[in-house]
Structure 1
Amino acid sequence: MSVRQGQGFQQGQPERPIDDDSDVEEEALANDYREQVGYENGMDDYALDRAQSLGGGTQDLGAQLQAAATPLEYGASIENKIQSYDSYCNLFHFILNSDGPVDIEVPSYYWAWDVIDEFIYQFNSFCAFRQKAAFQPPNSNISEDEVAVLRENPNTWGCYSVLNVLYSLIQRSQISEQLAARKRGEDPAPYAGEYGNRSLYQMLGYFSIIGLLRVHCLLGDFSLALKTLDDIELNKKAMFARVMAANFTTYYYIGFSYMMMHRYADALRAFNHILIYVSRTKNFQKGAQYDSISKKNDQMYALVAICVAFYPTRLDDTIHTALREKYGEQLTRMQRGGPEALPIFEELFRTACPKFISPTPPDFDNPHLNPDPIEHHLTIFMNEVKTNMFSPTVRSYLKLYTTMDLTKLAGFLEVDADTLRSWLLVNKQRSRQVRHSEGGLLEGDVVNSNDLDYAMEGDLIHVSETKTGRRLVDWYLRNLARTY
């Protein structure tokens, strides 16, 4: 997932929770967004021809840096995609391996994000193109000549090369050490080193951390994706929050990673945060950027619908209204559970998931051996859905009783008692989720995320309402009163 499109880092700012929505800081972010729109509108004055700036061997580093932030034209040939990869490699090799730090002033941190974003976008697109070519060569849209070029260049846009660039930029800039020092309230300067004091390395290193979050998520390593953000403070004074596309991308991949780890409360908190921000800045969005953000917005609402189906919870009024408008019918069907809900879960997942990639080049000689990364992760996700398929039905019966006989409930559901017992055990286990409170994104406390709790004593089921359930009922009653 890519949304294409103040100077320096936060200095010792106190860490805030992910859902801090201060109106004062919202206004500051809105002002930053106005500045960003002006920057992006002015990019046309400096746009350079990529073939000349990146591929033509020019010695003008400034022009190469500007070209690296410029999107490759839509429908570029396979030769241009490979040439772009070689140009990125040469550029990053020069930045990382010159005798001493490169002495050049960068335009702004918007530019630094554009470089990393475009680099990863081209990597993702090329891998998807290569995977498509390997499934059914020759493809109606992919010529035999293009397949031959892909065969001859198996290491082009390789996973190892992309990860090596991102990790090298982080290491060279020592940005992780600087950010960790700021979180401790220390002066980051002693940790910066010769390279880390230069804005070029600071900015590229910082956004490479966001890039790693994205790449690890695309590869399906969701724990490592969240681990990469350990040193970044998720508050509105962080640098990524000042760039609309970076802000949106960060919270999308955080939320999606949490969702795939079955931490639905944390996923919803991430999605809600960025969706509220987008709704407050929509008046500044226009043109192609608005169309792109609007599309990604719909995808994120689809993920919110999935998470709410698994974890019924109170939503911000703005999010709740928009969710009902976009996916109200699908959400109702998912919350009912049962086999009828499975196609809805699958449809929304396909609509909203990232374009997963395989870490290795495909086998062109044996297309049937190439796994489809999206289908692979869809299968994993749907296994979780099927495991919880009957939980809403079971929960609807349990809400009517405080004590119930297992055999009686099995009769209502038309299943045998042993099958019902297994459903209850699975539902009980799934209701225990890790929820983030402080520290790294992988850390958290185990909480009961269900609106009901129950215990089994022989064939008796003892049911009680949780605090989550009481809060949820109060919220629904308030919304109902407001509606009528």
Structure 2
Amino acid sequence: MAAAAAEGGGGGGGAVYDPSYVPDSVKTFVAHMYRHVRDKNVYEIHQMYEGGFQRLSDRLFRDAPWPAAEAISPYCDGDHVFLLLYRELWYRHAYARASSSSSSAPLAAGQRAESWANYCDLFSVVLHGVVNMQLPNQWLWDMVDEFVYQFQSFCQYRAKLKNKSDDELHQLKQFDKAWNVYGVLNYLQALVEKSMIAQILEREKEGLEQFTATDGYDYQGGSNVLKMLGYYSMIGLLRIHCLLGDYRTGLKCLAPIDLNQQGVYTIVIGSHISAIYHYGFANLMMRRYAEATREFSKILLYILKYKQYHQKSPQYDQILKKNEQMYALLAICLSLCPQHNLIDENVSTQLKEKYNDKMTKMQRFDDEAYAAYDELFSYACPKFITPSPPALDQPLTNYNQDAYRLQLKLFLYEVKQQQLLSGLRSYLKLYSTITIAKLAQYMEVDEATLRSILMTYKHKMHTVDNNGKIVSSADFDFYIKEDVIHVMESKPIKRHGDYFLRQILKFEEMIGELEKVQFD
């Protein structure tokens, strides 16, 4: 646990970091936090976690780690579980410093392995011990989110071998068991199973459980820790499987959470965005364009309405980044499968401002179109990982981009397969009936090729949903009878009620603003 600076000098002084030195403000913070954790005072814990920890980090520890856990132990009665929680915050702060633009040196493999060992100890206590705590949902979500992030970060770190020093390579050999993909998946799956969260959510549907109504908290004197870690682990598993390119398994892991209902995942905006981003991306890669479009539109409308309330949140920059990435993914979905009736008017306006030119290019399916698809996918996709450890006895190369290149290749291959479908769609939208011979002439292909293209369209616009049913994601359908194509275009349902409600709300806001105006 080494770096630089101490009390008063954490913001940039040159004093040497002393892990045993505890500033008075940290002593007070730890003592109060420990008391609130012991008293299950969730409100005060949340205030200290979201506010106090961040303020102290900015003021004293911008360029230095927090004091060592052993040093603050006297101020929490040496409580083993509290010290595990403190170490979790310690390593999270260390990772945040290492990834900031002001810091150039990444965390060493040894420190990453120590963080892994701390998570193992913490989750083992939760799984096999008796944890009688209530912690804020924000902290429990951040715990799972950081666990997955550190796994992803370690996979990227060890995949960049080219410029590693001998000491770094030695540490990679020494800690080769740290952040093992099976270990990571096993812990998250164990939290899901031990918490029995899937059964709790099923019982809630039958009216036998109050989980969403209580935001996952236990007001009978029990603990919410295992239950909520299990809940958020389902989102963590979806994220990991997306990073590995196993989209079907990822969606299965999230299946117990009904995204069509207001759920506990929406309370913490980070979990809300992560769940929908990875859910939408997985559906996009599985050609379920309509489902991806529907969910992206809902979350983007939510962010559009409520992002101003999160401006002071430490996650605000991440919210804005994910917002931009989801607009890019929505542009891809609508270019491959136009479903404009599924997106909100306000989201559509924002999308046109950001990506109208690129979406026009992507309809052409020429080199410029492929470049636009490549650019948007590369910007908006997750940071894919290769989970297997490197062969350190081979010539040292960087392979951290291999997984990304493979997913990009598969995606662009899918785009190329749809090359002729765009032209077919534009022709069929003009006709209610047209002969195969006539359409083949228009498209400058022979009839056999056209039949193949028509079958490709049917195949590409149908997919298997989570329940195993074949569903269509096309905005129109057709059938062929006696060499004549009959087109059935689905007419979007006009929701006049929504329009009038929006206008009423706008007028009420205007009246409210006018009432505030004072005339002389």
Q: Common fold, TM-score beyond 0.5?
A: yes
Give the deviation of 1:248 after TM superposition: 0.5
AA partner of residue 322 (structure 1): Q
Name the residue aligned to 1:52: 68
CA offsets 1:145-193 (integer angstroms, 9 cap, x no match): 323322333221110111111122222222222222212222479xxxx
Name the residue aligned to 1:143: 165
Q: Distance in 2 between the 1:54 and 1:230 partners?
A: 42
Give the deviation of 1:206 after TM superposition: 1.7
Structure 2: which 5+ runs fail to align?
1-44, 99-105, 212-220, 504-520
Q: Mark the CA change 1:111 to 1:284 in structure 2 (over 3 Å): closer, same or farther.
A: same
Give the deviation of 1:396 after TM superposition: 1.6
Q: How many residues align?
A: 420
Q: For residue 257 of structure 2, give the secondary structure of its aligned residue in structure 1.
A: coil
Name the residue aligned to 1:289: 315
Question: Residues 135 and 224 of structure 2 are in contact (CA less than 8 Å); yes or no, is this contact kept in structure 1?
Answer: no
User: Which deviates the most, 407-416 or 45-54?
Assistant: 45-54
Name the residue aligned to 1:119: 147
User: Which deviates the most, 147-156 or 391-400?
Assistant: 147-156
Q: Distance in 1 between the 2:261 and 2:477 partners?
A: 37
Q: For residue 478 of structure 2, give the secondary structure of its aligned residue in structure 1.
A: strand
Pick one of 207, 212, 230 that aligns with 1:205.
230
Q: Mark the CA change 1:312 to 1:54 in structure 2 (over 3 Å): closer, same or farther.
A: farther
Give the deviation of 1:290 after TM superposition: 2.2
Pick one of 61, 64, 71 that aligns with 2:84.
64
Q: Distance in 2 between the 1:62 and 1:162 partners?
A: 22
AA partner of residue 397 (structure 1): Y
Pick one of 173, 176, 181 that aligns with 2:195.
173
Q: Distance in 1 between the 2:122 and 2:87 partners?
A: 11
Q: Distance in 2 between the 1:226 and 1:369 partners?
A: 30
Pick one of 221, 230, 239 that aligns with 2:246.
221
Name the residue aligned to 1:360: 388
User: Is 1:331 equivalent to 2:359 in the alignment?
Assistant: yes
Q: Mark the CA change 1:174 to 1:432 in structure 2 (over 3 Å): closer, same or farther.
A: closer
Q: For residue 275 of structure 1, give the secondary structure of its aligned residue in structure 2.
A: helix
Pick one of 109, 114, 118 that aligns with 2:137.
109
AA partner of residue 486 (structure 2): V
User: Which deviates the most, 375-384 or 332-341?
Assistant: 332-341
Give the deviation of 1:379 after TM superposition: 1.8
User: Which deviates the most, 270-279 or 70-79?
Assistant: 70-79
Pick one of 443, 462, 471 that aligns with 2:485.
462
User: Is 1:77 equivalent to 2:108 in the alignment?
Assistant: yes
Name the residue aligned to 2:518: none
Q: Mark the CA change 1:366 to 1:424 in structure 2 (over 3 Å): closer, same or farther.
A: farther
CA offsets 1:200-242 (integer angstroms, 9 cap, x no match): 2122222112211211222222112111223223356422211
Question: Residues 218 and 354 of structure 1 are in contact (CA less than 8 Å); yes or no, is this contact kept in structure 2?
Answer: yes
Give the deviation of 1:333 after TM superposition: 1.5
User: Is 1:260 equivalent to 2:288 in the alignment?
Assistant: no
Q: Mark the CA change 1:473 to 1:175 in structure 2 (over 3 Å): closer, same or farther.
A: closer
AA partner of residue 338 (structure 2): P
Name the residue aligned to 2:52: 42
Structure with greater contact order relative to length (CA < 8 Å, sep ≥ 6):
1
Question: Residues 55 and 84 of structure 1 are in contact (CA less than 8 Å); yes or no, is this contact kept in structure 2?
Answer: no
Q: Distance in 2 between the 1:432 and 1:264 partners?
A: 10
Q: For residue 102 of structure 1, give the secondary structure of its aligned residue in structure 2.
A: coil
Question: Residues 46 and 136 of structure 2 are in contact (CA less than 8 Å); yes or no, is this contact kept in structure 1?
Answer: no
**TM-score, normalised by the number of residues in structure 1:** 0.78
CA offsets 1:19-44 (integer angstroms, 9 cap, x no match): xxxxxxxxxxxxxxxx9899623333
User: Is 1:274 equivalent to 2:299 in the alignment?
Assistant: yes
User: Is 1:132 equivalent to 2:148 in the alignment?
Assistant: no
Q: Distance in 2 between the 1:368 and 1:414 partners?
A: 48
Name the residue aligned to 1:158: 180
Pick one of 425, 434, 442 that aligns with 2:455.
425
AA partner of residue 272 (structure 1): S
AA partner of residue 156 (structure 2): A
Name the residue aligned to 1:451: 475
Q: Which has the larger radius of gyration?
A: 2
Name the residue aligned to 1:342: 370
Q: Mark the CA change 1:273 to 1:474 in structure 2 (over 3 Å): closer, same or farther.
A: closer
Pick one of 383, 399, 405 that aligns with 2:429.
399
Name the residue aligned to 1:471: 492
Q: Mark the CA change 1:412 to 1:253 in structure 2 (over 3 Å): closer, same or farther.
A: same
Q: Mark the CA change 1:474 to 1:361 in structure 2 (over 3 Å): closer, same or farther.
A: same
Q: Distance in 2 between the 1:109 and 1:333 partners?
A: 43
Question: Residues 328 and 376 of structure 2 are in contact (CA less than 8 Å); yes or no, is this contact kept in structure 1?
Answer: yes
AA partner of residue 349 (structure 1): F
Give the deviation of 1:432 after TM superposition: 2.4
Q: For residue 107 of structure 2, give the secondary structure of its aligned residue in structure 1.
A: coil
Q: Distance in 1 between the 2:127 and 2:378 partners?
A: 38
CA offsets 1:390-423 (integer angstroms, 9 cap, x no match): 2111222233334434344334333344333222
Q: Distance in 2 between the 1:308 and 1:265 partners?
A: 9
Pick one of 299, 306, 315 that aligns with 2:332.
306
CA offsets 1:334-355 (integer angstroms, 9 cap, x no match): 1333454222112111111111
AA partner of residue 332 (structure 1): T
AA partner of residue 332 (structure 2): I
Pick one of 329, 346, 367 that aligns with 1:318.
346
| Superposed counterparts of 1:372-387, under 5 Å | 372-387=402-417
Q: For residue 228 of structure 1, give the secondary structure of its aligned residue in structure 2.
A: helix
Q: Mark the CA change 1:418 to 1:231 in structure 2 (over 3 Å): closer, same or farther.
A: same
Q: Distance in 2 between the 1:353 and 1:43 partners?
A: 31
AA partner of residue 125 (structure 2): F
User: Is 1:88 equivalent to 2:119 in the alignment?
Assistant: yes
Q: Mark the CA change 1:317 to 1:401 in structure 2 (over 3 Å): closer, same or farther.
A: closer
AA partner of residue 261 (structure 1): M
AA partner of residue 87 (structure 1): N
Q: Distance in 2 between the 1:462 and 1:155 partners?
A: 60
